Amino acid sequence: MQGLLRSVWDEPRPPGAPRRVWRDWALVGVLVPVIVLEGLLRTDLQWRPLSMVYALAMSPALLWRRRQPLAALAVPVVVAGLIQLVTGADPSEQGAVAYVLLLLYALTRWGSGREAATGLALISGAVLVAAVTGQIAAGGDVVGAFTVVLSALALGGTFRYRARARARELDQVKLLERERLARDLHDTVAHHVSAMAIRAQAGIATASAHPDAAVDALRVIEAEASRTLAEMRAMVRVLRRDEPAELAPGRHIADLAELAGRSRIGPSVDVEIRGDLDDVPPSVGAAIYRIAQESVTNARRHARHATRIEVRVAADDTAVRLSVSDDGDNTAAAPSPGYGLLGMIERAGLLGGTCEAGPNPGRGWTVTAVLPRTGAAV
């Protein structure tokens, strides 16, 4: 039990707290007229002007509920306590429930363990003081107040746990994609080194009789070495992890022809490859194949009423470009980014390229990827 409490106390703030967005300003903008209207219509407020001024003055605290969740909760509670101590009036009669729900939710969603524990102690103390001073009836009202407090805290903790679980799943997807890319790069480097060794042996064998052939061999070795260094730069960026590895042989752009044809239960696939792809590194070829394969799979699964999927690959002197598009309906809401798309983006990024997906102007969905021909980011 002590270990559990210690782990909760030492829990850091979750990463990625969003900055203030238009929804935050809209929330404050909605609360202000609601507070004014409530203050004008309620007849049970003892200190109407004081309650309205307090509620309006504390509304901006909602803007800091993610960045400073404890301060956003503590300031209204402490100010209300001081006003009540001096004047004997409770200024928090107006809009108190809305503040409690929003600020307590933010406390466990975005705060650290220390902040959550401190905020819980602070709000619990405020409830107990209100019960002792007779502001709320002991018994049922106290139980109801603590139920509201714990419910808001539990809701924030639930969303925090879900966000953490999803972040871990995304990390696993990225690690798996890095591992696959590392294997492809390993095969690429081995291929280049073998080619250099063969050229070196040929140059040695012909050096005495044909010096020009030896010079040509050295030029080829230099080109292969430069390409290998480029691949190694990409490999350095790949994090290898001790996870199961697939032993299947690597695929290349030429294997895209296997995707062509009509599936028995899906749209037909048309593959077109243009440009010189003979010297494209295996890592780039494998990435193009993987992205195209995943895109075709996604189109077959999610493109409603699609009859055709087009896979286009074009290469020039600097880059290899892939486009996978379908003619399905795009009037429905776009699917949320899945792990397959994230894996494609990760693989393209590790090679210094880009991968994007989005709806077409008319019908269908398109995935585009652009990878440097060298196979490594500069």
Count of domains in the chain? 3
Q: What is the pLDDT of residue 324?
A: 94
Residue 10 and residue 96 in one domain: yes
Q: How many CB atoms lie within 10 A of CB 251?
A: 19
- Would you say residue 316 lies in a domain? yes
Residue 112 and residue 202 in one domain: no
Domain holding 64, by residue range, is 2-136
- Would you say residue 187 lies in a domain? yes
- Longest Cα–Cα distance of the chain, Å, equals 110
User: What's the whole-model pTM score?
Assistant: 0.51
Q: What is the pLDDT of residue 250?
A: 58
Residue 36 and residue 129 in one domain: yes
Q: What is the pLDDT of residue 239?
A: 45
- Would you say residue 30 lies in a domain? yes
- Would you say residue 241 lies in a domain? no
Q: What is the pLDDT of residue 113?
A: 86
Query: How much of the chain exceeds pLDDT 90, in percent?
Result: 12
- Would you say residue 58 lies in a domain? yes
Q: What is the pLDDT of residue 166?
A: 83
Q: What is the pLDDT of residue 271?
A: 93
Residue 64 and residue 102 in one domain: yes
Q: What is the pLDDT of residue 377?
A: 47
Q: What is the pLDDT of residue 312?
A: 95
Query: How much of the chain exceeds pLDDT 70, in percent?
Result: 78
Q: What is the pLDDT of residue 247?
A: 35
SS (H, E, C) the chain: CHHHHHHHHCCCCCCCCCCCCHHHHHHHHHHHHHHHHHHHHCCCCCCHHHHHHHHHHHHHHHHHCCCCHHHHHHHHHHHHHHHHHHHCCCHHHCCHHHHHHHHHHHHHHHCCHHHHHHHHHHHHHHHHHHHHCCCCCCCHHHHHHHHHHHHHHHHHHHHHHHHHHHHHHHHHHHHHHHHHHHHHHHHHHHHHHHHHHHHHHHHHHHCCCCHHHHHHHHHHHHHHHHHHHHHHHHHHCCCCCCCCCCCCCCCCHHHHHHHCEECCCCCEEEEEEECCCCCCCHHHHHHHHHHHHHHHHHHHHHCCCCCEEEEEEEECCCEEEEEEEECCCCCCCCCCCCHHHHHHHHHHHHCCCEEEEEECCCCCEEEEEEEECCCCCC
Q: What is the pLDDT of residue 274?
A: 92
Q: What is the pLDDT of residue 243?
A: 41
Positions of the chain with pLDDT under 70: 1, 3, 45, 89-97, 134-138, 177, 180-192, 195, 227, 230-250, 261-266, 330-340, 375-378
Residue 259 and residue 368 in one domain: yes
Q: What is the pLDDT of residue 223?
A: 75
Q: What is the pLDDT of residue 325?
A: 94
Q: What is the pLDDT of residue 131?
A: 77
Q: What is the pLDDT of residue 50?
A: 77
Residue 268 and residue 222 in one domain: no
Residue 178 and residue 274 in one domain: no
Closest Cα to residue 57, out of 37, 81, 31, 90? 31
pLDDT tens by residue, 62-76:
888 888 899 888 888
Q: What is the pLDDT of residue 94?
A: 60
Q: What is the pLDDT of residue 58?
A: 81
**Domain end marker among 183, 201, 236:** 236
Q: How far apart are CA 51 and CA 46, in angstroms?
A: 9
In this structure, the strands spanning 319-326 and 261-262 are: unpaired
pLDDT tens by residue, 281-321:
887 888 899 899 888 888 887 788 888 899 999 999 899 99
- Would you say residue 311 lies in a domain? yes
Q: Which CATH number fits the domain that encloses residue 288?
A: 3.30.565.10
- Would you say residue 211 lies in a domain? yes
Q: What is the pLDDT of residue 356?
A: 93
